[in-house]
């Protein structure tokens, strides 16, 4: 768990010698539990106490800020820099708000384009390959005009050839060979880390149910919004393409529902028949899609016919 910058650095985790203990009320969510800490305890000891009191309820993947109740203001304030406990007080642990972006709300400064495996050897095998080349050309032209970074991968280019000549890669930030399904290579992760404020990825290429799907899932798992361009992606089989896009739509709905449910839970609303959803699902291999979901989610969100096709 990381603390927000507003809380400042630790104000000395070690208590002053011979100071005794001080009563502190530790508040988290709707709960409040009294305890004691050594006189002179700082930020680190307060965090440890929060973990000992509420560890099973704290989401360790989120960021938090510690706040102190200030009598003179009659409200909580961010823990002052260098704060040390010297008298009876009340503190609380507050999760930072997650700002959910609206799908479709793309801005050039926070967007990256991913062009996946648009290679010569796939031309005769992929349905409507000429059409997705045409759309891909326009996407890359737009990226150049708007100054949007472009990352390109090629699946085993020694055997499958390079990106087709019609696709102009002028100005691409990266053009990388790969031998796995996902585009999320170490070099790609490093490139994304260099782009300040990146939030969205526009993804296109082949094949929809393999490399496109796996790339989308890994990017979503890293907290990015992923936009698959439907008319710029295809597979050898239109059935594979259709179900890959359908599954992606289902996953996005589950992701949004999971976030909304989590928010309701944090406000103390009890949910019935709700099963927590992981943001990462594994859909794999060449001839279909394998999707693993809790049984309650399958029955709620996916009809029996779709489950039969997928599983």
Q: Tell me which residues are annotated as active site.
A: 117, 178, 211
42 neighbors 79 (Cβ within 8 angstroms) = no
Partners of 163 in beta bridges: 119
| Distance in angstroms (rounded) separating the CA atoms of residues 45 and 57 | 18
Using a 10 angstrom Cβ sphere, with 0-12 exposed, 13-18 middle and 19 or more buried, the burial of residue 225 is buried
Q: What are the φ and ψ backbone dihedral angles of 281, each rounded to 5 degrees? A: -120, 150
């Amino acid at each position: 768990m990381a603390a927000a910058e507003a809380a400042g650095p630790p104000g000395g985790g070690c208590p002053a010698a011979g100071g005794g203990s001080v009563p502190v009320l530790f508040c988290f969510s709707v709960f409040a539990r009294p305890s004691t800490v050594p006189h002179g305890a700082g930020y680190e000891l307060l965090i440890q106490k929060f973990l000992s009191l509420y560890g099973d309820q704290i989401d360790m993947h989120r960021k938090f800020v510690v706040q102190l109740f200030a009598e003179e203001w009659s409200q909580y304030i961010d823990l002052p820099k260098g704060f040390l406990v010297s008298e009876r007080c009340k503190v609380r642990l507050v999760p930072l708000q997650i700002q959910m972006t609206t799908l479709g709300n793309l801005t050039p400064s926070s967007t990256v384009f991913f062009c996946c495996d648009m290679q010569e050897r796939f031309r005769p095998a992929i349905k409507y390959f000429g059409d997705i080349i045409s759309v891909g050309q326009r996407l890359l032209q737009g990226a150049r005009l708007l100054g949007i970074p472009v990352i390109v991968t090629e699946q085993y280019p020694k055997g499958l050839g390079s990106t087709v000549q019609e696709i102009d890669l002028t100005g691409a930030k990266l053009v990388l060979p790969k031998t796995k399904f996902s585009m999320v290579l170490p070099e790609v992760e490093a490139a994304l880390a260099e782009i300040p404020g990146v939030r969205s990825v526009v993804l296109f290429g082949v094949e929809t149910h393999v490399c496109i799907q796996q790339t989308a899932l890994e990017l979503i798992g890293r907290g990015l919004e992923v936009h698959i361009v439907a008319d710029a992606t295809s597979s050898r089989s239109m059935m594979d393409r259709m179900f890959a896009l359908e599954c992606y739509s289902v996953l996005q709905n589950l992701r949004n529902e999971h976030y909304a449910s989590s928010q309701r839970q944090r406000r103390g609303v009890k949910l019935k028949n709700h099963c927590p959803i992981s943001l990462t699902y594994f859909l794999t291999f060449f001839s279909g899609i394998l999707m693993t979901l809790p049984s309650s989610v399958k029955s709620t969100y996916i009809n029996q016919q779709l489950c039969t096709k997928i599983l």
